[in-house]
């Protein structure tokens, strides 16, 4: 995929992301748009190449999977700890989690994981590959952060910078997408499972 095509896809996916977060949580429009964002990222990544073509083996060793999952657990714990201690991030995260509080648990998890897979195929796949002759880790992360700004949420933007760098480094070290995929999906699952009780919705009269 050419850089021009990558940028065009990034612009389209970012615009769709911005529209999706402006819809009512739990609505059909929300789920349709978020699945649309995931499909945009995944389709572009799959068009670029076979997602696991650079892996030394198509079935990563159990230790590699466990390591990637452990990194996801550590990232989740660090994010929760930091967000709890910084008021602006706590408020921003509470705002994001209203989608989990108001939506269907199964559908919210499904759309979150679908977007996680799509983001890896695109940002750590197609984008990373198209920038392989320059500095793919900072460049792919910068585009990931720029796309996330469409949410208008500082917690998500900060997370995209930290996680984008971590996931891109995993891609660089392992040469493929298996490790960043496992880390991303582990992190996302834990965020949805354990953060909502820690960041309950603000009562309407206090909002």
Give the model's pLDDT for residue 51.
58
Give the model's pLDDT for residue 76.
92
**Whether the model pTM is above 0.85:** yes
Give the model's pLDDT for residue 202.
60
For the chain (207 residues), the mean pLDDT of every run of 10, in chain order, is 85 94 87 95 84 56 90 93 87 78 80 95 93 89 96 92 96 92 95 81 51
Q: Is the dihedral of CA 156, 177, 175, 67 positive or negative?
A: positive
Give the number of C-alpha atoms closer than 13 A to the C-alpha of residue 8, restricted to the C-beta side. Answer: 6
Cα gap 15→35, rounded to integer Å: 14
Q: Are 45 and 140 in contact (CB under 8 A)?
A: no
In order of 2, 25, 46, 199, 206, the CA distances from 123 in angstroms are: 14, 26, 12, 29, 38
**Residue extents of the structural domains in the chain:** 3-55+64-206
Q: Are 38 and 114 in contact (CB under 8 A)?
A: yes
130-187 tens-digit pLDDT: 887 889 999 999 999 999 999 999 989 999 999 999 999 999 998 889 999 999 999 9
Give the model's pLDDT for residue 205.
45
């Amino acid at each position: 995929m050419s850089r021009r095509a990558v940028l065009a896809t990034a612009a389209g996916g970012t615009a769709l992301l911005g529209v999706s977060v402006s819809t009512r949580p739990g609505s059909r429009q929300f789920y349709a748009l978020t699945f649309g964002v995931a499909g945009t990222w995944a389709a572009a990544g799959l068009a670029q190449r076979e997602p696991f073509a650079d892996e030394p083996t198509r079935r990563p060793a159990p230790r590699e999977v466990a390591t990637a999952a452990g990194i996801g657990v550590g990232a989740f714990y660090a994010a929760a700890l930091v967000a709890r201690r910084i008021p602006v991030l706590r408020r921003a995260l509470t705002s994001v989690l209203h989608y989990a509080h108001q939506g269907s648990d199964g559908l919210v998890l499904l759309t979150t994981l679908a977007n996680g897979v799509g983001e890896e195929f695109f940002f750590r796949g197609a984008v990373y590959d198209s920038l392989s002759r320059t500095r793919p880790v900072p460049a792919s992360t910068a585009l990931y952060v720029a796309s996330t700004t469409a949410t208008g949420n500082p917690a998500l933007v900060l997370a995209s910078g930290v996680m984008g760098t971590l996931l891109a480094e995993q891609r660089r070290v392992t040469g493929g997408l298996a490790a960043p995929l496992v880390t991303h999906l582990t992190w996302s699952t834990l965020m949805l499972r354990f953060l909502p009780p820690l960041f309950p919705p603000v009562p309407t009269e206090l909002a």
